[in-house]
Amino acid sequence: MVSSDASIETGAGVVNPSPNGVNRTNVEGSSLMNAPDQLLRIRLDEDPANPVVTVSGEIDVTSAPMLERVLRQALAPNPRTVVVDMTGVSFLGSAGITVLAAAAQQCRELPRVVASYPVRRPLEITGADTLFVLCDSLDTALAATRS
């Protein structure tokens, strides 16, 4: 038995069980030779009905596999959709778009993506924005999953 303040090491990061039944996984990694200014941070709130993946940093060819692992974990219980909060993302490369598109194919409903300008712009330019419901805030994205 694990107490509510314990941490469990998983393949994707550290899972922190919470009293309300929503597990939180924190993942940190570097997208460029462990340079501290290039860190990618990912948190997964494993709510079975509405998993929320919060991402900050840069998503490029070296960091996209980390995002892919966490999205797979979020989608493993086969939720209706997933919310991906990318307001803290400062760069989204083609590898990140590919990972998001693959995750979208696994959802029964379009994923909700809370997009900063550096995320929204490449999604719109490539036409990948049609694979998601782009939202301006996490509250809007969560409300959209309930409707």
Measure the CA–CA gap between 120 and 92, rounded to whole angstroms: 9
Mean pLDDT value across residues 96-105: 97
At 24 the pLDDT is: 58
* Averaged pLDDT, 2-9: 26
pTM for this entry: 0.77
Share of the chain above pLDDT 70, in %: 73
pLDDT average, residue stretch 81-99: 97
Residue range 50-82, pLDDT digits in tens: 899 999 999 999 999 999 999 999 999 999 999
Q: How confident is the model at residue 39 (pLDDT cuts 50, 70, 90)?
A: confident
Residue-level pLDDT at 19:
43
Q: Residues 117-142: pLDDT tens digits?
A: 999 999 999 999 999 999 999 999 99
